[in-house]
Amino acid sequence: MKLFKALVPLKKHLDQQNLTSLGLVPTMGALHDGHLALVRKAVEENEKVVVTIFVNPTQFDDQKDLDAYPKTLEDDLEKLACFGEKIAVYAPEVEDLYPKEAVSEHYDFGELETTMEGGSRKGHFQGVATIVQKLLKGFMPTRAYFGEKDYQQLAIIHALVQQKELPIEIVDCPIVREKDGLAMSSRNRRLNEKQRAIAPQIYSLLTQVVEKKHTHSIEEINRWVTAFFEQQAEFELDYFCIADARSLQPLRDKNTTQNARAFIAVKMGEIRLIDNVKF
């Protein structure tokens, strides 16, 4: 495993190998088993894999959230060491990807970016698309791997690749969960002991939502979720939504689509957690 801090020498390193396939796993570091599952799949399906570790400033709408995001490069490298020469790690400084100024480009993703996360985090997906485009065009991998926990982000990336006509396969990877059901996230390590103990209630609620689809309307489910969080002092509900899995637009009638998901975002103090399940 080799670590590169700059794009140019890494591209030269890759070009020298005459690769038949290249996988890309973009991350913001603070790696957990969910990230490692992406890397394992990429290693299985490609001759070489680039794992990027970069906390992208343009996708944060809150400077405090950016400052608090965990940065654990040494620990991340230890976790990746088991993959040996199959991977290369790209962990640049901001200036390597944003040589002039760290600002987002402009994209039109329509309603994909105005709902859910888009409504709560202004400019977030413009920043996501900017950095993903930089990485995809920089490496031109055969395949790039993203987790379904950030499902709306995944939809944006599919739209980006289509709009820019990039010949790259975007591979959707299932959510990896802790034994108690909590979706793995780098933000989980910021939870205190009490918060971590009750955080699995988020997934528990989603499983109950899926059970209720047989006996309750979407309006009734929405009211039930709202009432649940009104009684929970440790949680602040940002949004809950049952939406079409392709358009991401909220559904009013559960019979209007066979491909729906339930999405949720919850704040626990200053920490914001998201999750989703098939509905």
**Catalytic residue numbers, as ranges:** 35
Give 189's contacts (C-beta < 8 A, 6+ positions apart).
30, 70
The whole-angstrom separation of Cα 200 and Cα 117 is 21
The whole-angstrom separation of Cα 206 and Cα 279 is 9
Stated as kind and residue range, the H or E segment containing 242 is strand 236-244
- The DSSP symbol for 191 reads S
Give 121's contacts (C-beta < 8 A, 6+ positions apart).
61
User: Are the C-beta atoms of residues 143 and 169 closer than 8 Å to each other?
Assistant: yes
C-alpha distances out from residue 193 to 33, 118, 190, 199, Å: 20, 30, 10, 10
Cβ-based neighbour number of residue 153 at 10 Å: 21
